[in-house]
Homo-oligomer: A and B are copies of this chain.
Amino acid sequence: MSEKAYEWLKNHSIETAYLLSTAEVLAWDQRTYMPKKGKAHRAEQMVLLTKLLHERSTDKRIGDNLSMVEGGELVADPLCTAAVNVREWQRDYDKSTRIPRKLAVNLARATSMGEMIWERARAENDWNALAPSIADIVDLMVEKADAIGYAQEPYDALIDEFEPGETASSLERVFGGLKPALVSLLDNVRETEITPDTSVLNRLFPVDSQARFCRHIVSMVGYDLDAGRIDVSAHPFSIGIGPGDARITTRYREKFFNASVFGSLHEAGHGMYEQGLPDEHWGTPRGKYASLGIHESQSRLWENMVGRSRGFWRHAYDRALLEFPSLNDVPIDKFHAAINAVKPSLIRVEADEITYNLHIMVRFELELGLLRREIAAADLPDAWNEKMKSYLGVDVPDVGSGVMQDVHWPSGLIGYFPTYTLGNLFAAQMFHKAQDELGDLEERFAAGDFASLRKWLREKVHEPGATYSPRDMISRITGSALDPTFFIEYAKDKYGELYGFA
């Protein structure tokens, strides 16, 4: 009886996943090749798929079958495939059924409105046009959190959707240890006389050469182009469509080296995670990524810890010189210093490894303030600018390059930003352990060996899918609980050497 119920749930899960992956093909197409006049039609296709997916995820038979399975022998071992799946199906079913239909509709409307207003208002630097939307969305998100339920405060219910197990206070503890260390590191950098010459990254890099070079390096690190693609999109992204099909995008700027190269490595990190998930469990939680933070750990690890390492470029710089004659007079050390330059700036997506996390802190603290009703939407720009000055030392000239730079809040993604910093912390802790087990990784990269690290990650991180909660996974892999010290030490070593304060 319970086995039959489990089979029903599994089939239902896989069919739903096929439908969801169909929506993902449409999403990929929309952001890459869709003709511009096809926009309205695509929106209607998506509305239908969303409706079908919602019907499937709230199907009462899920609850009936779950109750026949739970507590039974099939799930006695909490780490067996069936138990993992049942645990996650229950989580999803609870969330889907607890949110009243009317609230879901209101949220969909408010966030789609929010995105539209954001697009115009950002271009016009007009916070007043967006503030009412943000206020509405915050109200609805609190309502949503109340409907889902939480232990301590509404924010907990929201972050849990992206990072199972995290809460506002667990994040405050982690980030509390990280922030002063980053601010102090940034002070160290500011106090040195060393200023890398980043102008070498603004020379001519023909788009065709960039495209060839990006294909070369993502293959080199192990992203399988026969099970994926690189295309161009305004905002780079990665998307896992299914077994054998995990795509990435990038963008090319003729006079900026970093955008395509490190963007591609970042997305390839995501793509290799998707390509490394166990195909035989596809369509069930056991075969799905563990969390957004773990996903981001893979992209940041390949982008920064690998892609911005000296070892990587000892292997890849000759090829870069072939593609980009404009770098011919730039010695590798000068190049390496340039791609690792630390410089406080206004825009998160352009930030270096140290200041990036301070950008996230600003957002985390502000969204927490919004949910706790300590900050009003109307006052966000002032609060933003103050924190940017205090943590990063920069003056924000306008809301477009300040509080309105990201689409997250207008699209209802509150509780999402912290996963970026968790990703950095997970990555540093994993990388440290991999180094322990595999020996000197820099030397491996210099010798063109990226496979050892990729295999290590595949076994430890990719293969288990969503078996463990993110924090459990980190503890199991590294033997210690999540600890920002690994990231801090990594950054001290790397930037201490580069900026001469080690």
Contact for A244 among B21, B39, B49, B225, CB less than 8 A = B39
* Chain B proximity of A45: nearest CB distance (Å): 5
A221 to B39, CA, bound (A): 24
Verify if A242 is at the interface (C-beta below 8 Å from B).
yes
A22 to B41, CA, bound (A): 10
- Whether A22 and B45, one on each chain, are in contact in the complex, defined by CB atoms closer than 8 angstroms, is yes
- Whether A26 and B35, one on each chain, are in contact in the complex, defined by CB atoms closer than 8 angstroms, is no
A41 and B229 contact, Cβ closer than 8 Å, known pairs A25-B29, A29-B25: no
Verify if A71 is at the interface (C-beta below 8 Å from B).
no
- Whether A22 and B21, one on each chain, are in contact in the complex, defined by CB atoms closer than 8 angstroms, is no
Q: Mark A452-494, 1 if CB is under 8 A from B, else 0.
A: 0000000000000000000000000000000000000000000
- Whether A227 and B37, one on each chain, are in contact in the complex, defined by CB atoms closer than 8 angstroms, is yes
Verify if A347 is at the interface (C-beta below 8 Å from B).
no
Chain B contacts for A224, CB-based, 8 A: 37
* Chain B proximity of A35: nearest CB distance (Å): 5
Verify if A36 is at the interface (C-beta below 8 Å from B).
yes
- Whether B29 and A45, one on each chain, are in contact in the complex, defined by CB atoms closer than 8 angstroms, is no
A29 to B28, CA, bound (A): 10
* Chain B proximity of A469: nearest CB distance (Å): 28
Contact for A247 among B35, B52, B231, CB less than 8 A = B35
Chain B contacts for A196, CB-based, 8 A: none
Verify if A375 is at the interface (C-beta below 8 Å from B).
no
A217 to B225, CA, bound (A): 34
Chain B contacts for A229, CB-based, 8 A: 33, 35
A45 to B35, CA, bound (A): 23
Chain B contacts for A28, CB-based, 8 A: 29
Verify if A245 is at the interface (C-beta below 8 Å from B).
yes
Chain B contacts for A227, CB-based, 8 A: 35, 37-38
Chain B contacts for A15, CB-based, 8 A: 48
Verify if A87 is at the interface (C-beta below 8 Å from B).
no
- Whether B21 and A228, one on each chain, are in contact in the complex, defined by CB atoms closer than 8 angstroms, is no
A231 to B32, CA, bound (A): 13
Contact for A245 among B21, B42, B226, CB less than 8 A = B42
- Whether A41 and B243, one on each chain, are in contact in the complex, defined by CB atoms closer than 8 angstroms, is yes
A48 to B19, CA, bound (A): 8
A458 to B208, CA, bound (A): 41
Interface residues of A (CB under 8 A from B): 15, 18-19, 21-22, 25-26, 28-29, 33-42, 44-45, 48-49, 52, 224-229, 231, 241-245, 247, 282
Pairs A-B, 3 closest by C-beta atoms: A38-B245, A37-B244, A41-B242
Known: A35-B229, A36-B226, A37-B226. 14 other contacts (CB 8 A): A21-B45, A22-B22, A22-B26, A22-B48, A22-B49, A25-B26, A33-B231, A34-B245, A35-B226, A35-B244, A35-B245, A35-B247, A37-B244, A39-B244
